[in-house]
């Protein structure tokens, strides 16, 4: 065989493997941001915009970090000299968690491996949401957490950003 043919054949084969070897992206895979949270309060249904947040889903794993609450966190100049109350105001609203997930029968089941909240990492803990994909948004409604059934379910609307 001539060298040009082998070179061309190798290039075509490599390109074909690269195209067909890529796995199809799952419906959750990507980077998301929470756009709004809706929950029932004493005055009825309340919808609010969340603080800074980011959720990442890969093929089998997830990671999320967000700042919850409606007011800005105070700047903490020196953690070594801060009071317990100052530390709670700064660190309390932060949520950080990562682990594996599973999609089954309309449910998203999160299994934390590491979390800011140690209770979320207890053996056999799973956090369960019902889900639907709607007009580019991922809508999650809480079902169960490390404490059992969620007494007052809330809904989270995430938008894909990547």
Could you tell me the domains of the chain?
25-71+80-160 (2.40.128.280)
pLDDT at 69: 78
pLDDT at 79: 84
Give pTM, 2 decimals: 0.79
pLDDT at 4: 52
For the chain, how many helices (H) and strands (E)?
2, 10
Q: What is the mean pLDDT of each run of 10 residues along the chain (162 residues)?
A: 45 41 79 95 86 96 91 80 88 93 95 94 94 95 93 96 94
Spatial distance between the Cα atoms of 53 and 26, rounded to a whole number of angstroms:
22
Q: Give the H or E element holding residue 103.
A: strand 94-104
Spatial distance between the Cα atoms of 132 and 158, rounded to a whole number of angstroms:
11
pLDDT at 154: 95
């Amino acid at each position: 065989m001539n060298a040009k043919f082998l070179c061309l054949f190798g290039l075509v084969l490599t390109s074909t493997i690269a195209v067909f070897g890529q796995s199809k992206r799952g419906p959750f895979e990507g980077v998301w941001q929470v756009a709004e949270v809706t929950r029932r309060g004493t005055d009825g249904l309340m919808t609010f915009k969340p603080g800074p947040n980011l959720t990442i889903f890969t093929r089998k794993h997830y990671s999320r970090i967000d700042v919850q609450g409606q007011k800005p966190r105070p700047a903490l100049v020196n953690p070594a000299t801060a009071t317990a109350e100052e530390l709670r105001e700064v660190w309390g609203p932060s949520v950080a968690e990562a682990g594996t997930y599973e999609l089954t029968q309309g449910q998203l089941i999160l299994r934390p491996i590491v979390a800011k909240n140690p209770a979320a990492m207890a053996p056999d803990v799973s956090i369960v949401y019902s889900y639907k994909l709607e007009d580019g948004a991922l809508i999650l409604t809480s079902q169960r957490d490390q404490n059992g059934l969620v007494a007052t379910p809330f809904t989270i609307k995430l938008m894909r950003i990547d």
